[in-house]
Structure 1
Amino acid sequence: MIKKLLLVAFVLFGSSLMMAQTTISGTVNDASLGGPLPGANIKVSRKAVGTTTDFDGKFTLTVTDTPPFTLEISSLGYGTKTVEITKNNQVVTVDLTENATSLDEVVVSASRTPERVMESPVTIERFDSRAIKNSSSPSFYDALENLKGVDINSSGLTFKSVNTRGFASFANERFVQLVDGMDNSSPALNFALGNLLGMSELDVKSVEILPGAASALYGANAFNGIMLMRSKSPFDDQGISAVVKTGITSQQAAGDNGFVDTSVRMAYVFDDYFAAKATLSYLEGEEWHATDYRNTTGVGGTYAPGTRDTRLDYDGVNVYGDEAVIDLKTVVDGLVSNGSLPTSALGVVPNVRVSRDGYNEVDLMSNEAKSLKFGAALHYRPLGNDRVEIIWNSKFGRGNTIYQGQNRYNIANFFMEQHKLEVRGKNFFVRGYYTGEDAGDSYDTRFLGLNLNNQWVRNPVTNQIVAPQDANNTWFARYVLGYFNAATQGGLTDSQAHVAARNFANVGRLVPGTPEFQAAFDKVTNDPDLLTGSKFRDNTNLYHVDANLNLRDYIDWAEVQFGGSYRRFKLNSFGTIYTDGTGPIRYSEYGLYTQLQKKMMEDRLKFTGSVRYDKAQNFDGNFSPRVSLAYAAGETKNHNFRASFQTGFRNPTTQDQYIGLATGAGVLIGTAEDNLDRYTSLPQSVSTAGQGLSGLGATTTFTGRDAFTRAFSATSLATYGAAVAQAIAGGTNPQQAALANAGLLQKSDFDLVKPEKVTSFEVGYRSAIPTGDTKIGIDFSAYYNDYQDFIAIKNIAVPLYGGFNADGTPNALAVAAVGNGDYTGVGFRTNSKADVSSYGVGLGINTKIFKGYNLGFNYTWSRFSFDQASDPDFEPSFNTPEHKIKLQFGHSNLFENFGFNINARWQNSFLWQSSFLEGTVDARTVLDAQVNYRIPSLKSVIKVGGANLTGEEYLSAPGVGAIGSQYFISWTINN
């Protein structure tokens, strides 16, 4: 028996030795520069077997195939060549020609089929792994800002929001980010947290950005643009590569702080059937400190006169807890009525507004930027070639960042995971994926400041710490007592009396850096009840399935595609974001689309027509058509003219429908029908006068339905307040002034939220014009967008008592509520009646000069318009500069193994509108640069660079940390 087994083993071993093996060796050169081309891909046609050239452009490949067979030689940015292998030990030399311009690059996102940028029916921007190597930015994600028409708004060092064509915010719900086909958005927040759960720099194959509406192919939320990031396949890019990047961030507020950003990628092909890869990335650094201490008019307001030292009712931009404010008259009346102060106090204590002292953001934020990402993928080809491939992909991300929405949020130990199963072939794909998240230790800094202030206030008589719910009233009572005592002692000015009052009220105040402060900090940040805490909880899940089929192998007269998608949310924020305090909210939507593409007139004219139907659970279905024509003129078809018409729409997000979020100065309420009845506010304080008029206690609540049916418009409230103040200044009795101007108060009028729509027109021209040994690439586009039912936040004011008469006028009790300050600001997600449009142009020019120097220029002009009179409370939040100019200059091989690149960006000032703060963002010029040196013997590249080298700090938006300079050195191995 043993002899038989040995015989079988010998036969099998011998057979393997006798199996045909073919060895090919050779060199791949750059046809333009004449030198070796490292990193070029060499593979057997239609198989996974292959290798890459070393730093000297050389390769050796041994395969089991018997000649003849075909080799494919390719490299990013170069044309592909094929070589016929006819014998063993064949030596080949191949010269790859660099694409003359970026217009020769191949993209797939514009039409869901491969085509050159030159032939794309719509505007598209592309960024690939070769561009990453030449980038002067600290990360590939930062480098996207150098693309034409692309804006990046930075809420922090690690949270960056990509946007195109205006209407930007950090919560950019109109722009979609897909990574290998998976939506990279947080399921609860409805937008992507930058690259927190994105891609490792080593694994990026390409990034394609479609500015403008893309709903016809990509669904409801691809309303203002879409970015598709594709990773490298382990079948095509094998081996182990790594990058270590370190340096400093330099900011006046934070000083100089070190950072490290490192990644490793491992990919291995086991045989023609099976390959796998894994990536691991880690980043750690210091966030840009937010230290804007200018005074504001409140949450969502504007900058106001005065400073912390000159205003009694100071509300600093990056200060939290000082939102607690009151008219001292209300406090004095209460203290006199309960006998704590004599009646004479009514004439001593002035009727002024006073706010509590808050805490600076730098004392409430960890300011620790951190990101840990791991990804793994298994690729299986059941036929042993690329005809069919099955992919399992899992990604995990955990990190810290800062998000600015209605408030500033410290995102700490935020965790997000995605798992995808995909079957794809030459002409189809079917995939399904799951996204889950956990908010970790994240918290709201405004509620942290407010509730920290409620932890230490002492009773003026017993000197004991009062209950948190009594802290504000007690602090203001202490303030009034302190002022009265100081003012009646004599010898003190009014200002000095106020200082004495504040000092008395602040006895026992928690001091940052002390153990007592830290204990209170930990207590509040671990408490999800916003009455006493600030913790942000979330375990929302997303389930998504989509598919596509291209019939090009079955229909020869045109290229026809079909596809569809289904998505289901399970909202589970435990009542901290959504009105899901009693259990998860489930919500679903689906879509179907088709596209026809036809070439005519000797392939000079290309027609593309698409249409998509989408249906969401709470809304009627919508059709999104797109029609485009592209014509290639010129003898070599190097002049491409295009025109397109398309419509897009955006379903209201889950936040638009189901949010129920307290902000510290009001609330945000979604306007899905069932959400109005599910929402109940936190207890709202009622003034002493209001209690006497309405019969209410010290606090009351209201529902979403109350806010929807009995509220004042914010504009009319402001108009009324100004008129009353003017009348009082003219000598009118306050009560009479209030009644006389009551007619100015108008009932808010708006509908439940519904989908918004855009109609988009675009024309463009692309050309590759020969100039001697090179070409000049020109890419021009112009667009006009017309929006209907634009989704926005409608600001209203809900009186805590009173209501409206049958004719829509407020009753006396509601007017009194306004006079007593007994109302709450509410932001409703609804549709604007304003006529909104946007339009702009983009121009990109790139070429090579002086035998190899890359020179690029692009300009973007963006404008919008709307009829403010049609909706006075509407804020469009265009948040985009009118003019942007970007320049690039560099050489990848200036001399042997040495390259450099320089990027410069300029933009003019513009108005930023948001629910956090409104203000002007100043014009800025930013300069980035890098030099790199290749070390072939170590398969390495050393890069030294810096971002914002001028050192002129700038704000991406009001309220964020000023962006300083970042200097880095990186060592990349085998990439």
Structure 2
Amino acid sequence: MKKTFTILVVGMLFVCFRSYSQSAVSGSVMDIESGDPLIGATAMLSGTSKGATTDASGKFTIQGVEDGSYTLTITYVGYAEFSKKITVSGADLSLGNLSLEEAIFAFDQVVVSGTRQAEKVTETPATIEIISAKDLEELPSFNPGELLARVKGVDFVRAGVVGTGINIRGFNSNFNSKNLQVNDGRFATLIATGLPMGPLTTQVKEDVERVEVILGPNAALYGPNAHNGLVHTITKDPRSSQGTTVAVGAGNQSMFTARFRHAQVVNDVLSFKVSGEYTRAEEFDFADSVYIDRDGDGVKEGYEEYKLDNSIEFLRGEAAAYISLPNASDIIISAGGSNSTYLSPTNVGRNQIKDWKIGYIHARYTSNRFFAQVYNTTSYTDGTYAIDQRTKNYYAFIDAGMSEAEAEQQSLDKAYGAPFDDESKRLNAEVQYHEKFGSTGVVVGAQYQRDNANSKGTYLLDNDGNDPIIVNQLGVYGQIEQELGEAFKLTAAFRGDNHEIYGFNFIPKGGIVYSTDKGAVRLTYGKGIAAPTIINMYGNLFNGLILGNAEGFTLTDGSKVEKQKVEKIQSFEIGYKGEVVPRKLFLDANAYYNISEDFLSPVTVVGVATERGDEPMSEVQSGYGAYGGLVATYVNFGKVNTYGFDLGTNVYFNDQFNWTFNYSFFDYSYDEDNLEENDFNGDGVVNKLDVLVNAPKHKFGTGLYYRGKKLFSNIYVRWVQEYDYFSSYQIAAKTQDLTWRGTPVVENARSTDSWNYGPLGGFVNVDLGLGYKINSVFTVSGQVTNLFDAEFREFTAAPFTGRLYSLELKAKLPAIGK
């Protein structure tokens, strides 16, 4: 009996052990072409919270796996998702080398910007467009921003030779801070103005892995200024992109560019990369007239911009060290800087950007569950100025009897409003925890931002730089993803944001995605806010004629101009991404409806003020003797509904040929009887001059691409319907029975302080690219923008776009020992 009992106990223990034994699943993830390890790829077992991230050698190990059958899924940004059926049965399972291939088909791509976690593009609860590594590699230009012209749903504008800008879903202006620019998770916006850095960026094209563009608000995860959209640029990991790349290019407008990137794995712990660029060119010939009343009789005459400098010059570079730690965690330390000179359009003419320096230092920690980062951004210039104001200053001093030399020198004295000096900095910090519990994924995090803006008394109320403007913000965010079976995924996100000036705001977002083998349908709701920038709050332009509105104003009749508050948008969207014909036809469509209110207005004259906040205007306004308290500022107004849809197709004829077609429709509506909220200019009528949507109703783009082993080429055609555009002093509109800033709207005529050349858009543009891979090292390529040299103007205070062409030679040298 005792022997029988012993056997029974041993047998039960054996059964229990077999039933609940836990094993490890391991493997190595490699690039299918190069054989390089893919560091940071995510391996997950379906139906569990078990997963791991690949280390510096591309290896992953998933511990504690119970016996059973699973689907192993591996995702890596820029690569097609990999799936494999596996069975675990009482022993560790080694899968050997698992090869991932770069995503060729739009259906296969993995993104990170929608939920800040890697996921298949069809399954993210947001409309995300991708500029891939292939797109970037085949662009013979130093400026990856040119590819944004080919992204559906984006209003792309070219403002000269190097100036490129975008807007998403309406409300564009020459001073647009509603689209957030992010580089490797780091906010890449100017500190005082909130504008995207654009040409001031420190990144070199050869180091860019991909660009993800989110259409619509994503403030719940990224903060207040991801209001209309977000552009996230992701750079290459040196551990999976070793080697040296050198590129030289030349083109018309005296363009020359030289760029390099080097990445190297030193050992199992340390890897690094460095990159640099020098580019120069000449802007298109164009003079933006400055209108001056020199005789004092109220009649303004046009003068060319004084001392216009058409030179363009960029010097930029970055360096980063990647330290690989145990358990697939990393410390990444990076730094970068740029020095830029070019012409930039503004609401009141053009700025002469002179030696504007941007710098940053950035430290990140990443692991399977934690992410943390801290970074400091600096901005410095002492040579940038407003050309319009400098021109007015010069002629005023000439009329006052000064010599030309004296007038030239005095025209740039900061007492007369032309210079834009900057010595600002910003500190950001973030910590995040993410985990998966069975079918539930959780992300929680907190962000801190401290702006320290210093204009040295040139355009802010900073007491000649003695009292920099300091503003603190703190945000906490969270997200829950719940899988419901194999088809449905629910996402709920929130952000609580506390702004030192504008208090607390709650920002929710939610979505549901239904996925099949062929694609996914998504329904989302999101809220976004746009907080006034520092220049909106504390601006001091043209000797106090324009003042920021962080305090509110009291007018001479005792009425109040309320201080600015945040602008709000609610967005409802339905979309589909998927294969109509397997591996041949890919469809991406979305429709949206937005409710926008409390617009942050452009600069507007509000009247004669006696006080700004509690301070008398005589103590705030440096030009009080001339203006007597007359002030222009920024206010909130209005409620507008916008709606539209975007349609995109990709047709893959074979592995070499594919054709794309994008179409976007956009429109808006508002209550014409709501004079209290919507009659911004106070003329007793609500019309488009109050709303200022500034976006085309229709636009499309289509391109044909060939990608062979040696030869690659593309031709892209873009059409934008003409549309009227009004932004502060700037106007581009057809003749109509309207009055803008006191002057009738007449095409090809002066409009108060600028020249109205007629509507923007209304053009067809054709771009052509061609390249040849001579061997494994050298590639030669070229492109022509505006192939037929059509004369059209994409932005105000900017030249007509002429034909641009460039040739480029690129050498890619493999890493030593490979």
Q: TM-score range by the shorter chain?
A: 0.7 to 0.9
Q: Please tell me whether residue 885 in structure 1 is matched to residue 700 in structure 2.
A: yes
Alpha-carbon deviations, 1:95-149, whole Å to 9, x = none? Answer: 9767462121000110111111111111111112211123476632111210111
With over 3 angstroms needed to count, the CA separation of the structure-2 counterparts of 1:158 and 1:323, relative to structure 1, is farther
Q: 1:546 aligns with which of 411, 421, 430?
A: 430
Residues 78 and 430 from structure 1, CA distance in 2 versus in 1: closer, same or farther, beyond 3 angstroms?
Answer: closer
CA distance 1:612–1:276, shift in 2 (3 Å): same
Contact 2:381/2:422, CA 8 A, preserved across alignment? yes
Distance 2:426 2:639 in 1: 34
What is the distance in 2 between the residues matched to 1:75 and 1:612? 26
Query: Per the alignment, in what secondary structure is the counterpart of residue 238 of structure 2?
Result: coil
Aligned to 2:319: 376
Q: Could you tell me whether the CA contact under 8 Å between 2:278 and 2:314 is conserved in 1? A: yes
Partner amino acid for 2:309? S
Alignment of structure 1 residues 234-383 onto 2, 5 Å = 234-248=238-252, 257-291=253-287, 318-320=288-290, 322=292, 324=294, 326-327=296-297, 353-355=298-300, 359-361=303-305, 363-383=306-326
Match of residue 524, structure 1, among 388, 411, 414 = 411
Partner secondary structure for residue 879 of structure 1: coil
Could you tell me how far 1:162 is from its partner in structure 2? 2.4
Cα separation, partners in 2 of 1:323 and 1:578, compared to 1, 3 Å: farther
1:382 Cα deviation (Å)? 2.8
Contact 2:160 2:800 in 1 (8 A): no
Structure in which a larger fraction of residues adopt strand = 2
Indicate conservation of the 8 Å contact 1:795/1:873, yes or no.
Answer: no
1:537–1:576 Cα contact (<8 Å) kept: yes
The structure-2 alpha-carbon separation of the partners of 1:198 and 1:904, relative to structure 1 and needing over 3 Å to count, comes to farther
| Contact 1:170–1:403 (Cα < 8 Å) also in 2 | no
Cα offset for 1:579?
Answer: 0.7
Task: Indicate if the aligned counterparts of 2:395 and 2:407 stay in contact, CA closer than 8 A.
Answer: no
Describe the SS at the equivalent of 1:261: strand
CA shift for structure 1 position 609: 0.5
Higher helix share: 1
Q: CA RMSD in A?
A: 3.1
Q: Following TM superposition, by how much is the alpha carbon of 1:872 offset from its aligned partner in structure 2, in angstroms?
A: 2.3
Which residue does 2:118 correspond to in 1?
114
Query: For 1:155 and 1:841, how far apart are their aligned partners in 2?
Result: 26
1:545-944 correspondence to structure 2 within 5 Å:
545-552=429-436, 555-581=437-463, 582-601=466-485, 603-633=486-516, 637-662=517-542, 667-673=545-551, 705=553, 708-710=554-556, 750-770=561-581, 774-793=583-602, 795-796=604-605, 798-799=607-608, 826-832=631-637, 834-849=638-653, 852-867=656-671, 869-870=675-676, 871-873=678-680, 875-893=690-708, 897-919=710-732, 920-936=759-775, 939-944=777-782
Q: How far is 1:447 from its partner? A: 1.9
| Counterpart in the other structure of 2:333 | 392
Is residue 129 from structure 1 mapped to residue 133 from structure 2 by the alignment? yes
Report the alpha carbon displacement of residue 668 of structure 1 after superposing the two structures with TM: 2.2
Amino acid at match of 2:534: T
Matched positions, count: 695
Amino acid at match of 2:455: S
- Aligned partners of 2:178 and 2:225 also within 8 Å: yes
SS across alignment from 2:545: strand
Relative to structure 1, the CA distance from residue 202 to residue 571 in structure 2 (aligned partners, 3 Å threshold; closer, same or farther) is same
One-letter identity of the residue aligned with 2:386: D
Q: Quickly say closer, same or farther: Cα 1:825–1:371, change in 2 above 3 A.
A: farther
Aligned to 2:378: 436
- CA pair 570-849 structure 1, distance change in 2 beyond 3 A: same
Q: Deviations over 1:688-732 (max 9, x none)?
A: xxxxxxxxxxxxxxxxx4xx4237xxxxxxxxxxxxxxxxxxxxx
C-alpha distance in structure 1 between counterparts of 2:580 and 2:277, whole Å: 42
CA distance 1:759–1:354, change in 2 (3 Å): closer
**Aligned-partner residue type, residue 844 of structure 1:** G
Using the TM superposition, give the Cα deviation of residue 40 of structure 1 relative to its aligned residue in structure 2, in angstroms.
6.1
Instruction: Tell me the secondary structure at the aligned position of residue 460 of structure 2.
Output: coil
Structure 1's unaligned 5+ residue stretches are 1-26, 30-36, 52-71, 85-91, 249-256, 292-317, 328-352, 459-464, 467-507, 511-515, 677-704, 712-746, 803-820
1:49 offset after TM fit, Å? 4.4
In the aligned structure 1, how far is the partner of 2:576 from the partner of 2:338? Answer: 41
Aligned to 1:946: 784
> Counterpart of 1:48?
56
- State the match for 2:153 in structure 1: 149
Name which of 169, 192, 196 aligns with 1:188. Answer: 192
Percent identity, aligned pairs only?
24
Structure 1: how far apart are the matches of 2:375 and 2:782? 39
What does residue 745 of structure 2 align with?
Answer: none
Deviation at 1:390, TM superposition (A): 0.8
Q: State the 1:647 CA deviation.
A: 1.3
Answer whether contact 2:602 2:634 (CA < 8 A) is retained: yes
Runs of 5+ consecutive residues of structure 2 not aligned to the other structure: 1-29, 42-53, 60-73, 87-95, 612-625, 682-689, 733-758, 814-818
Higher mean C-alpha deviation, range 267-276 or range 845-854:
845-854
Give the AA of the match of 1:942. V
Distance (whole Å) between structure 1 residues aligned to residue 345 and residue 508 of structure 2: 35
Structure 1 residues 822 and 274, CA gap change in structure 2 (3 angstroms): closer
Change (3 A) 1:912 1:574: same
Aligned-partner Cα distance in 2 for 1:873–1:788? 13
Cα separation, partners in 2 of 1:28 and 1:787, compared to 1, 3 Å:
closer
2:357 equivalent in structure 1: 415
| Counterpart-to-counterpart distance in 2, 1:578 and 1:100 | 49
Contact map agreement 2:55 2:324 (CA 8 A) in 1: no
How far apart are 1:769 and its partner, in Å? 2.3
Check 1:79–1:216 CA distance in 2 against 1; reply closer, same or farther (3 A cut): closer
Change (3 A) 1:426 1:940: farther
Distance change in 2, residues 1:40/1:973 (3 Å)? farther
Instruction: Note if contact 2:31-2:37 (Cα within 8 Å) is conserved in structure 1.
Output: no
Does the alignment pair 1:967 with 2:805? yes
Are the equivalent residues in 2 in contact too, given 1:320–1:448 (CA < 8 A)?
Answer: no
* TM-score, length basis structure 1: 0.67
Letter in 2 for 1:885: F
Whether the 8 Å CA contact 1:926–1:949 is kept in 2: the answer is yes
Q: Measure how far apart 1:195 and its partner are.
A: 3.3
Indicate yes or no: 2:366 matched with 1:424. Answer: yes
Q: Is the 8 A contact 1:41 1:75 kept in 2?
A: no
Counterpart-to-counterpart distance in 2, 1:379 and 1:258 = 38
Deviations 1:363-416 (A, max 9, x none): 522111111101111111232x6x111111111010112222232210100111
Q: Residue 899 and residue 112 in structure 1: after superposition, are their counterparts in 2 closer, same or farther (change >3 A)?
A: same
* SS of 1:956 mapped into structure 2: coil
Query: Deviation of residue 944 (structure 1)?
Result: 1.6
Q: How far is the alpha carbon of 1:171 from its aligned partner?
A: 2.3
User: How far apart in 1 are the matches of 2:242 and 2:174?
Assistant: 37
